[in-house]
Structure 1
Amino acid sequence: MEKKEDVYRTVSKPSPEILYKDRKSKFYAAVHPIASEDDVKPIVEELRKKHHTANHVCYAWQLGTEKKTYRANDDGEPNNSAGMPIYGQIQAFDVTNVLITVTRIFGGTKLGVGGLIQAYKTAAQMALESAKIVKRTVKAELRLQFGYPVMDIVMRTIKQKDLNIVSQKMELDCELTVSVRLSELEETFQLFDEMHGVDVTIRE
């Protein structure tokens, strides 16, 4: 069976805001790490306050690793002239769990749709180039339930496999939750599943 791809690229912290200028229009671009769609609105609202003379705060975001979701927003610019060029850079840099914002302050000269596409694309690219892109591993969790007699072998296996214990309950029966790399999930599940006296389930 082929191994699942379990490494993805994202940013560890918001990038510095970069400025790109085109015919007196100013484009302020930044990359922000996000964990859910709910993170987007507060960031965009904060930028509207910060750049209160801005005409548009355009953005694109992408979330997820295996199943990706994304959205692109032109915020009043001509259709597909801002959000999609920004999203194109998210794809080009192969990053996820990120929001890229480009805030435009109009300089008096219209750029035309072609000019806007180029400006938003370039600003997003410059922001990504200035961001710290990191690799992260996709993890899954296994719940292990067992009695004290098998505690030693369970703990020894956790140590050998270098698994991270997320939570533990040690009462009459023991319950541990461990995190496992997605690519090693099936193999690790089988290991515990074959142990006598251990009940193992994959946590959704």
Structure 2
Amino acid sequence: MDFYYSIEDHRFFEEKIKGSRFIANIYPIQNKEEAEEHLNSLRKEHYDATHNCYAYILGSQGLEYRANDDGEPNGSAGNPILFSIKKYKLSDVLLVVTRFYGGTKLGVGGLARAYGGTAEEVIKLCKRKKINITKRVKIFTTYDDINTVKRLLDEYAVSFEEIYTDTIEITAEIPISKVMNFRKQITEQTADRSGSRELDESY
């Protein structure tokens, strides 16, 4: 897939369940250091909370993730929050559910429903943001072949920048699944007079 979804900005949601207050905060993040900054800020804000349970997912494939129960029974808080993020197919997000204990025990099943349900409610308030997964490709071409290359760029590229000297150098953002075919077309349609090389993956 050439894209994934994150969220536009911070949102929060609060509800009471059997006397306990559950406050959910969700943030867009770029790395785990940002997640820690938000967590530290919330811990200071809610210094008297019973628990600050959380989960985050990072990356275009969602391969970097973490869930934390913060003292709740194992698997009753962090994993339900993580499942809610995955259910809505989001990445690059941190979701924290803060609990102020209200005197009534919920049991492991009740906790899982409370944490997962509160997490889902705050996700529903979010505006999703589509993030394109592209790879930068550098193209080297000539004035004789520029029209052919431009036509291929119009077909494949999300964006591109050109530098004109004795030859022409173009840096293009190509959807990651189309890079191989784009480079093949550049070579074939200019009879090997133009070349290309892949740079880094970008978002």
TM range (shorter): 0.7 to 0.9
Residue in structure 1 matching 2:173, options 175, 179, 191: 179
Q: Which structure 1 segments of 5+ residues have no match?
A: none
- Which residue of structure 2 lines up, in the alignment, with residue 111 of structure 1? 106
- Which residue of structure 2 lines up, in the alignment, with residue 9 of structure 1? 5
Q: Which structure 2 segments of 5+ residues have no match?
A: none
Tell me by how many angstroms 1:176 deviates.
Answer: 2.4
* CA deviation vs aligned residue, 1:79-130 (integer Å, no higher than 9, x gap): 1111001011112212222211111122233322222111101110111111
Secondary structure at the residue paired with 1:28?
strand
Residues 1:89 and 2:98 aligned together: no
Residues 1:164 and 2:177 aligned together: no
TM-score relative to the length of structure 2: 0.85
- Which residue of structure 2 lines up, in the alignment, with residue 33 of structure 1? 28
CA distance in 2, matches of 1:187, 1:128: 37
- Which residue of structure 1 lines up, in the alignment, with residue 133 of structure 2? 138
TM-score relative to the length of structure 1: 0.85
Give the aligned CA root-mean-square deviation in angstroms: 2.2
CA distance in 2, matches of 1:199, 1:95: 37
* CA deviation vs aligned residue, 1:56-81 (integer Å, no higher than 9, x gap): 21111112233622110111222111
Equivalent residue letter for 1:126:
E
- Which residue of structure 2 lines up, in the alignment, with residue 58 of structure 1? 53
Residue in structure 2 matching 1:72, options 58, 67, 72: 67
* CA deviation vs aligned residue, 1:42-67 (integer Å, no higher than 9, x gap): 01111112222212211111122336
Identity %: 31
Change (3 A) 1:39 1:193: farther
Name the stretch that deviates more: 116-125 or 45-54: 45-54
CA distance in 1, matches of 2:64, 2:158: 29
Residue in structure 2 matching 1:190, options 174, 177, 184: 184
Name the stretch that deviates more: 90-99 or 60-69: 60-69
Secondary structure at the residue paired with 1:131?
coil
Change (3 A) 1:51 1:67: closer
